[in-house]
């Protein structure tokens, strides 16, 4: 009986519930996409293709093995859009919305799960933050949908433009990576209005809801938390660096930026830098990028978006803490300091754990795909980084994957969205506290 109770308690932990929740969403999405009504030819979609697409949508990745526009009906596309919304906001956020609408009070356990879901360091005000998350999300998506509708109604019938506006607003804000144009947004490379609105959507979704809440309250409080300062700083640097690298490396490549005028080069460089770390949409032909640029994109995808956001990767703050540790070591300092605040040793250990686990997963997936797929090493590495970081950019390998390759990438997208550390917490054995410490030893390194 004790063992059974212990097992039940393990299942009730916040990390396990989050993992189970996303699996449930993927399962329902797979079944819906397999229905004949979801497929334009009226036949059920193959199980592996449905599972892959549902996982890609729920894990807000955007990698596809079938063309969305020519494969799915309006019903199927709507299922994908809902999966992206659920995957981006998180099923616990949506569950909280339903509970609040019905006037149900949240228990301590509910608040613990919400704290885990939005990567907050405290339960204080977590429900208030969730309310704002929902308001931010639906307001930003709604305004963007209206602007997109007005823009695309020039190119297509109004109701089609309205549908496209809603779908792509959801996709871009949730960093979903799906599109209905067939070539991502390459037709709008030089459209300043699209580039501005799409970039705002991707950046807003990738900053994280805690940062959005801080920015919303900044006019009243006149200050930002250390977390928000770090996220905004590193995000700005990475966006600028990505745009500069793409602009310089592809300036003379006639297959990407080389044949464009200066303004179009700048638009494409900025948007692609914004999109590469989380969104997975593009305005240039990704397979035609030079190898050096593709490799740099792999690094950006590995870093990913920020904690508590709709994006994946090791997260910007994890990357920044490790850079801080590097500089502290080189300068002979014991503490990692950002904005006159010292980083706790526990956070450094957590950052190292995330990077090592993610890098381990990245290497294992690369080796597996190099075994199952007949493709160049850089191509395999690019698709793996895209799946691990839940980005969705592709150099063309994903549609050609074998059945084993599809399964491997499906599992990788799931791990990337949940986060390797969350999965580790969900399945780890019960913690035991040591009553003693071993003596310190000396080891030579370097």
pLDDT tens digits for range 185-239: 999 998 999 999 999 999 998 888 788 888 888 888 888 888 899 999 999 999 9
Residue-level pLDDT at 117: 55
| Residue 113 in tokens | 């799960």
Q: Which of 57-71, 84-98, 241-255 has the lowest mean pLDDT?
A: 84-98
Q: What is the CA radius of gyration of the chain?
A: 22
**Distant-in-sequence, close-in-space partners of 63: CB < 8 Å, separation ≥ 6:** 52, 56, 177, 280, 383, 386, 387, 392, 394, 398, 409, 413
More confident residue, 340 or 296: 296
Residue 274 three-state SS: helix
Positive or negative, the CA dihedral 100, 101, 103, 104 is negative
Which pTM does this prediction carry? 0.88
Burial code of 71-85, b = ≥16 C-beta within 10 A, e = fewer?
bbbeebbbbbbbbbb
* Span between the terminal Cα atoms of the chain, in Å: 52
Task: Output the pLDDT for position 42.
Answer: 85
**CB burial class (10 A; 0-12, 13-18, 19+) of residue 105?**
exposed
pLDDT tens readout for residues 390-414: 999 999 999 999 999 999 999 999 9
Question: Are 373 and 402 contacting, i.e. CB atoms less than 8 angstroms apart?
Answer: yes
pLDDT of 94 above 80: no
Question: Within a 10 A sphere around the Cβ of 299, how many other Cβ atoms?
Answer: 15
Closest C-alpha among 25, 82, 71 to residue 49: 71
**337 phi and psi angles, rounded to 5 deg:** -125, 130
Write out pLDDT tens, residues 250-285. 999 999 999 899 999 999 999 999 999 888 899 999
Q: At 137, list the tokens.
A: 């999300």
- pLDDT at position 208 is 82
Q: How far apart are CA 290 and CA 296, in angstroms?
A: 10
Q: What is the pLDDT of residue 363?
A: 95
**How far are the Cα atoms of 7, 195, 282 from residue 202, in angstroms, in the given order?**
40, 10, 12
- Provide mean pLDDT across the span 78-94: 82
Closest by Cα among 28, 35, 43 to 76: 35
The dihedral over CA atoms of 173, 174, 177, 183, expressed in degrees to the nearest 10, equals -30
Helix (H) or strand (E) holding 41: none
In the chain, % of residues over pLDDT 70: 83
Output the pLDDT for position 7.
Answer: 44
Question: Could you tell me what percentage of the chain is helix, strand and coil, using 3-state DSSP and rounding each to the nearest 5?
Answer: 65, 0, 30
CA–CA distances in Å: residue 433 to residues 281, 348, 436: 46, 21, 9
Beta carbons of 325 and 337 less than 8 angstroms apart: no
pLDDT at 15: 65
What is the spatial distance between Cα 247 and Cα 225, in angstroms, rounded to a whole number?
33
For the residues 54-61, what does the mean pLDDT come to? Answer: 92
For residue 5, name the pLDDT band (cuts at 50, 70, 90).
very low
């Amino acid at each position: 009986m004790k063992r059974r109770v212990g097992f039940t308690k393990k299942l009730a932990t916040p990390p396990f519930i989050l993992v189970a929740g996303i699996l449930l969403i993927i399962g329902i999405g797979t079944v819906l996409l397999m229905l004949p009504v979801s497929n334009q030819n009226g036949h059920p979609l193959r199980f592996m293709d449905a599972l892959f697409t549902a996982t890609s949508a729920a894990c807000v990745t955007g990698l596809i093995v079938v063309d969305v526009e020519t494969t799915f009906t309006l019903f199927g596309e709507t299922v994908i859009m809902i999966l992206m919304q659920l995957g981006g906001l998180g099923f616990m956020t949506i569950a909280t919305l339903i509970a609040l609408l019905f006037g149900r009070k949240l228990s301590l356990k509910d608040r613990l799960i919400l704290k885990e879901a939005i990567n907050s360091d405290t339960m204080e005000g977590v429900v208030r933050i969730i309310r704002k998350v929902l308001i931010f999300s639906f307001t930003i998506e709604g305004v963007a949908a209206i602007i997109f509708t007005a823009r695309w109604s020039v190119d297509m019938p109004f109701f089609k433009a309205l549908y496209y506006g809603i779908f792509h607003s959801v996709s871009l804000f949730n960093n979903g990576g799906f599109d209905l144009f067939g070539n991502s947004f390459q037709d709008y490379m030089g459209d300043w209005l699209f580039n501005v609105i799409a970039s705002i959507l991707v950046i807003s979704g990738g900053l994280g809801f805690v940062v959005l809440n801080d920015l919303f309250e900044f006019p009243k409080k006149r200050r930002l938390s250390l977390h928000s300062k770090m996220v905004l700083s590193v995000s700005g640097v990475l966006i600028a660096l990505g745009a500069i690298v793409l602009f310089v490396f592809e300036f003379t490549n006639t297959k990407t930026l080389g044949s464009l005028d200066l303004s179009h080069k700048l638009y494409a460089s900025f948007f692609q830098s914004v999109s590469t770390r989380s969104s997975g949409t593009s305005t240039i032909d990704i397979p035609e990028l030079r190898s050096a640029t593709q490799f740099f994109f792999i690094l950006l995808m590995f870093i990913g978006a920020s904690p508590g956001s709709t994006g994946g990767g090791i997260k910007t703050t994890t990357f920044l803490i490790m850079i801080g540790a590097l500089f502290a070591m080189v300068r002979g300092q014991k503490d990692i300091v950002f904005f006159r605040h010292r980083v706790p040793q526990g956070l450094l250990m957590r950052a190292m754990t995330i990077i090592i686990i993610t890098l381990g997963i990245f290497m294992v997936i690369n080796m597996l795909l190099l075994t199952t797929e007949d493709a160049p090493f850089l191509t395999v590495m690019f698709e793996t980084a895209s799946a691990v970081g839940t980005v969705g950019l592709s150099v063309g390998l994903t549609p050609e994957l074998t059945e084993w390759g599809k399964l491997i990438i499906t599992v990788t997208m799931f791990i990337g969205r949940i986060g390797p550390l969350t999965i580790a917490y969900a399945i780890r054995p019960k913690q035991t506290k040591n009553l003693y410490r071993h003596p310190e030893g000396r080891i030579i390194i370097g």
